[in-house]
Amino acid sequence: MPKLATPDSLDLPINDLSTPTYMRVSDLLRKDILAGRWPPGARLKIADLSQAYGVSQMPIREALQQLQGEGLLDIQPNRGASIRTVDERLIINIYDLRGAIESMLVTRAANSITEEQVIQLYAIEARFEHANAQSDTEAALRANKSFHHLVNAIADNPEALEILEKYSDLVSGLRRRFGFRPGRANQMMQEHRQLLSALSTHNAETACQITMEHCRHAKEDLIALLRGEGPEQ
């Protein structure tokens, strides 16, 4: 089994009780997998992971289940967990799913959004644009996630939100590794502004079209980076 990263590489210390242990372990495992520290097909043994991260086997099991749900691991009875390939097919499937669900949600949101919620979205977008101007990728990712989460939440469909959240951390992990191609951040800002305009005028059809294009562009950008077709911003 390849050498694991030490718990010190976690964003939050492994003994920080503000976040559940399994979530901190899953964050570190996700980073290790996306960084290519294990080849596709490598097996992850619970006992080894427990020893490496200094935690009991229960949070390890929970972390593996979470990463299986994201598509990073394959868990088979009596065989344990093995690493799946993060390839174009996985990215295409995730973004096609996101496009279908988010276009449905934004259509509903456009019909019910309030003036106060529009103001909230403009404030989040301002944070996103400020973070991009400062080249603060982490802050930009957080603001972008908050922006889309609020739009989707306005539609009031928790079951759809649950499906989207399933892959949210994986997409964020991929963005932390690959970043964005030059020009993509500005394109995102333009698309966000167009979406805000459509939402503020309750134009559901336009909001749906913008959302579909937004997901398509994100998918194309990430696939190009996976192929090595462009540098990180």
Report the pLDDT value the prediction gives residue 7, as an integer from 0 to 100: 37
Residue 44 CA: distances (Å) to CA of 34, 113, 202, 232: 15, 45, 49, 30
- For residues 119 and 167, the answer to whether their CB atoms sit within 8 Å is no
Numbered ranges of CATH 1.10.10.10 in the chain: 7-83
If we measure between CA atoms, which residue out of 170, 158, 152 comes closest to residue 99?
152
* Torsion of the alpha carbons at 135, 138, 139 and 142, rounded to the nearest 10: 140
Report the pLDDT value the prediction gives residue 222, as an integer from 0 to 100: 95
Q: Partners of 75 in the beta sheet?
A: 81
The pLDDT of residue 198 is above 90: yes
Q: For the domain 88-226, what is the CATH code?
A: 1.20.120.530
- For residues 149 and 128, the answer to whether their CB atoms sit within 8 Å is no
pTM score, two decimals? 0.79
Judging by DSSP bridges, how do beta strands 80-83 and 73-76 pair with one another? antiparallel
Report the pLDDT value the prediction gives residue 54, as an integer from 0 to 100: 84
What kind of architecture, by CATH, is found in domain 7-83?
A: Orthogonal Bundle (1.10)
Per the listing, tokens 């009991």 go with 56
Report the pLDDT value the prediction gives residue 98, as an integer from 0 to 100: 95
End-to-end CA distance of the chain: 33
The mean pLDDT value for 122-150 works out to 95
At a CB cut-off of 8 Å and minimum separation 6, what does 233 contact?
A: 135, 137, 179, 180, 181, 182, 184, 185
> pLDDT (tens digit, 9 = 90+) per residue, 199-232?
999 999 999 999 999 999 999 999 999 998 754 4
Numbered ranges of CATH 1.20.120.530 in the chain: 88-226
Structure tokens at 59: 């949070």
